[in-house]
Every structure is written in C-alpha cells, then in structure tokens.
Amino acid sequence: EAGVTQFPSHSVIEKGQTVTLRCDPISGHDNLYWYRRVMGKEIKFLLHFVKESKQDESGMPNNRFLAERTGGTYSTLKVQPAELEDSGVYFCASSPFVNSPLHFGNGTRLTVT
C-alpha cells in the first residue's frame, strides 16, 4: 500500500506570503494528524482529524494556520501570512483507528525568509 504522502517536500517563501501544505493519508485511514518540528525543538502536535471533522486542534499555534480535510480524504495546512518562526518541518500522519500506530509521511520542510 502507498504510504502517507506529503507535498511539497521543501518550500521556501518570504515572510508575509502564503503557503499550503498537502497531505495524502493512507487510503482508508480516517484519522489524520499534523505535527511540526521547529529547528532544535520537539515535534509538537498541531491537530487531529477524524474523517473531515477536527477532533482536536489544541496544538494550532494561532489563527494564521488553517487546516482542512474536505471529504475526509487529503488534508491541507495553510499558513497565511507566514512568519519567520513558522520555519520547520511539518509532518502528517494517519491511522485507521485512534488506538492504532501512526504512519508518518516524510514531512515538508518549510523555510520562511
């Protein structure tokens, strides 16, 4: 089966611009998660979708971040406007059930200059 796929693998944008990250989970996985690793720090939870609904978005840093999962398939994470501190690696993960192991994508490395 195909794994979790993230696009793009790298993105370099200027402060104030908008960037949209995409995640395609493993087919049939209802649970989709976004995590972020800022340079030198921990990987932090951002939010959790169950199908198209946001189950937990307690980790979203501020209202410049918008996550969607239309139709319960792929998900997008938009940052608008981007700030320097948004630079990092954004990971997506999926799982079939809440209590099953997460399958992570390779991540999107975002650099804001």
Q: Which of 3, 14, 54, 113 binds other proteins (CB under 8 A)?
A: 3
How far, in Å, CA of 88 to CA of 74, rounded?
Answer: 21
**In the stretch 62-91, what mask flags binding to other proteins with x, by CB under 8 A?**
-----------------------------x
Asked if 40 and 52 count as a contact pair (C-beta separation under 8 A), the reply is no
# binding residues, other proteins (CB under 8 A): 27
Q: Does residue number 33 form part of the binding site for other proteins (CB under 8 A)? A: yes
Q: Does residue number 107 form part of the binding site for other proteins (CB under 8 A)? A: yes
Q: How far apart are the first and last CA of the chain?
A: 37
Q: Does residue number 48 form part of the binding site for other proteins (CB under 8 A)? A: yes
Residues 6+ apart with CB under 8 A from 57: 46, 47, 48, 67
Minimal distance, residue 39 CB to other proteins, in Å:
10
Minimal distance, residue 106 CB to other proteins, in Å:
5
Residue 64: CB atoms within 10 A of its CB come to 14
